[in-house]
Structure 1
């Protein structure tokens, strides 16, 4: 492919992309395929000779598209969103075209300095204290792993980095029983071991109980353990429960424990002054993460990771082989030393485009709109005699189940709601997901898509009711 062909093909792709933005909600949200259907249409070997763009694009449309789940459809209301927007996509196009590897200031000065400034903007936007310094990571899972590694090196005075674990480590990590599963994975990767992760009980709102946390910490201290880090969650994955950050923070300060705050999804709501109550006590935190790639209309991947002690972060990860040394090292930020990976994408560009294109007012209007739609639907569910809420709704995630008056058996209710969700997914016009809260099968609906409107929520509720009553009539 030469430059003339590239130009022609690129124009064709942009036209297709613009059409997709307009038509995405007309696609089935979940594809009607079985495991192996796509695989069976793909050749066993790569082609010996090069193929035309026309052939590749035709296969994309005929083989790949029928097997895609359309996360960008406003009818996708499962998990948490992985949103995009026009300015974000345009920035991604520029990033791909530049092809820069932004591991250090020298490898792309503008990328480094834009990231530094964008993270300052974002810090102000969500009301974090000025003492936090930010860096863009790939995911909240990676950011939290970085936090746990910082905590590990802090408590061992960088001994694990130097000599590894002795095999007799007694370092304990704490999170709530509702914390995201990635925390357990990170604990394993960081070398603490699953047996040293303490899952703290939650209250009726599914938030961590500070008194249970302190009791567990004291018990570990009495048994010769070394409490190392607490992960507090602002917006759990199951129900967006908000852990009481200030009480947890005071305990961490009292016992000299590293505090990491995971606000992966719900952190975007901190753009709204009226939601800053969720962050009360943030001054006790050693690190904080949220993902603009979830609810802030920025393409995956883009995770905003903030730390109170920049030197601790850098010392945890820095390594300086001769081939990476540059004359500017003492005067700049080299983000390769701020996380796990050496290679880094130019993620700051899309975040910059999004914040400038929407403006603070535009971002706040979108987020308030989603929360308002969730409030309306919550009231509708509460008023219906055959449905019930299973958790508070502080933001825009609603946890509920179908509960006809004549069914009270817990097992039957679980089976009924499992069938309901499966029937909704099979239909393809709406995508929801589930969790378990207090042992109950729970359906989740998340109203956070970039282009979500009231009509989509009304249609979703209509589908839910129709599919539910089909099961008992």
Structure 2
């Protein structure tokens, strides 16, 4: 294929995309396929000679769409959403064509400077104080790893990168059991270790207990360990738990701990002033992560990490060999020095398109609708005697069990969920909460409507019956 053929095939692909979205609501949400079935339809060996685009496109249409779980389906109520608003998709097409490697200012000045402005636009939208800077990471996992590495270096006097952790003492990171597993993995990768991630008990509202946190820190210091950082939670993945931040941050400041707030899902809702109570005190955190690719409409991958003092993370992550220097330049921002990867995509472009194409008020309206429709669905299920709401809605997430009289609610809920997802009209997932198998519901797909959410009620109650 030549560049001169590009327009012909992008036009063809555009027509396919239009038809795909026009018919998406009629397709099963979750892929209705068996393990290995897709691979079995592909040749076992790569082609020695070029294959014409007509054949390639025909094979795509024949194999891929029916083998995809449709994250853009308006009745995708599982996990958390991973959106792709049309304006963001257009920006991604341009990003793919430009194909810049945006590791340094000089390798892509526009990408660096637009990223700086987009970070500040979002800072303003979320009413964080001036002075917060930030960087676009690929995912919250990478932002969290960056924060954990920063905790490690800060606690060791910035000697860990040079000398390693041998003989440094046991570094301790604190969080609750409601945080995402990416915090566990970050402690693995950072060399801190799972045993040094201290899971603090929570209260009846599933908030980290400040007294238990203080007791754990005090005990660790007495044992000769080194408290290094605190990971807080706004909108936990399992049930949407939110820590009460101010008393926890006060302890962290008194104990000189670096604080990281994981608001990967719920952070997007902070563009709505009325929801900001759930992260009251966030402005006092050292690091905050949220994912515009979850609930704000940006294509995956696009994760924002705000930093109160970016220099601490740059000191941890920055590495500038001679071949990455910019000659005859004053000190400039090279975002690769803020992150683990050297290579970086032009992720800021889709934010620029997205925020301008819908405006903050347009984005707020979608989030407000998702929250309101989720509460309405929760109320309808609560009114039925054969269902039990196990955790009340936090923004646009709640959990429930199917509890028919005389049955085992764990088994009944698991069987119902299997029937729902095999049916295909909606897609839900599960979690374990206080030892119970519960079904999660969360709304957030960009084009979801109230009718789509109410369809969930119809499907859930029909298949339960």
Question: TM-score w.r.t. structure 2 length?
Answer: 0.98
Q: Within 5 Å, give how 1:261-300 maps onto structure 2.
A: 261-300=261-300
Structure 2 CA distance, aligned partners of 1:168 and 1:113? 39
Corresponding position of 1:28: 28
Shift of 1:206: 2.1
Structure 2 CA distance, aligned partners of 1:88 and 1:392? 32
Structure 2 CA distance, aligned partners of 1:169 and 1:13? 57
Corresponding position of 2:228: 228
Shift of 1:236: 0.3
Structure 2 CA distance, aligned partners of 1:121 and 1:352? 9
Shift of 1:284: 2.5
- What SS does the aligned partner of 1:127 have? coil
Structure 2 CA distance, aligned partners of 1:453 and 1:14? 24
Corresponding position of 1:66: 66
Q: Describe the superposition over 1:387-411 as per-residue Cα deviations: whole angstroms up to 9, x where unpaired.
A: 111112120011111112334xxxx
Q: Within 5 Å, give how 1:176-215 maps onto structure 2.
A: 176-215=176-215
Q: Describe the superposition over 1:299-331 as per-residue Cα deviations: whole angstroms up to 9, x where unpaired.
A: 000000011111111111111211111126533
> Which runs of 4 or more aligned residues in structure 1 lie more than 3 Å from their structure 2 counterparts after TM superposition?
328-331
Corresponding position of 1:454: 450
Structure 2 CA distance, aligned partners of 1:259 and 1:331? 28
Q: Within 5 Å, give how 1:258-407 maps onto structure 2.
A: 258-327=258-327, 329-407=329-407
For structure 2, list consecutive stretches of 5 or more residues without a partner in the other structure. none
Q: Is the 8 A contact 2:38 2:67 kept in 1?
A: yes
Q: Is the 8 A contact 1:231 1:260 kept in 2?
A: yes
Shift of 1:218: 1.4
Structure 2 CA distance, aligned partners of 1:445 and 1:207? 21
Shift of 1:77: 0.5
- What SS does the aligned partner of 1:229 have? strand
Corresponding position of 2:127: 127
Structure 1 CA distance, aligned partners of 2:149 and 2:356? 34
Matched, 1:7 2:3: no
CA RMSD of aligned residues (A): 1.1
Shift of 1:167: 4.8
Shift of 1:30: 1.2
Structure 2 CA distance, aligned partners of 1:267 and 1:175? 18
For structure 1, list consecutive stretches of 5 or more residues without a partner in the other structure. none
Alignment CA distance shift 1:336-1:168 (3 Å): closer
- What SS does the aligned partner of 2:259 have? strand
- What SS does the aligned partner of 1:231 have? strand
Structure 2 CA distance, aligned partners of 1:434 and 1:56? 37
Structure 2 CA distance, aligned partners of 1:88 and 1:212? 44
Structure 2 CA distance, aligned partners of 1:374 and 1:17? 29
Q: Describe the superposition over 1:197-234 as per-residue Cα deviations: whole angstroms up to 9, x where unpaired.
A: 11111222222222221121111112111111110000
Q: Describe the superposition over 1:246-305 as per-residue Cα deviations: whole angstroms up to 9, x where unpaired.
A: 111111011111110000000001000011112211233110000000000000000000
Q: Within 5 Å, give how 1:232-251 maps onto structure 2.
A: 232-251=232-251
Q: Is the 8 A contact 2:391 2:398 kept in 1?
A: yes
Select between 297-306 and 315-324 the one with higher mean Cα deviation. 315-324
Corresponding position of 2:166: 166
Q: Is the 8 A contact 1:127 1:276 kept in 2?
A: no
Structure 2 CA distance, aligned partners of 1:402 and 1:187? 36
Q: Is the 8 A contact 1:205 1:391 kept in 2?
A: no
Q: Is the 8 A contact 1:205 1:392 kept in 2?
A: no
- What SS does the aligned partner of 1:227 have? strand
Matched, 1:425 2:421: yes
Structure 2 CA distance, aligned partners of 1:328 and 1:303? 32
Select between 329-338 and 283-292 the one with higher mean Cα deviation. 329-338
Q: Describe the superposition over 1:126-167 as per-residue Cα deviations: whole angstroms up to 9, x where unpaired.
A: 121212111000000100000011111111111101111115
Q: Is the 8 A contact 1:91 1:349 kept in 2?
A: yes
Structure 2 CA distance, aligned partners of 1:457 and 1:283? 34
Alignment CA distance shift 1:107-1:328 (3 Å): farther
Q: Is the 8 A contact 1:272 1:364 kept in 2?
A: yes
Question: TM-score w.r.t. structure 1 length?
Answer: 0.96
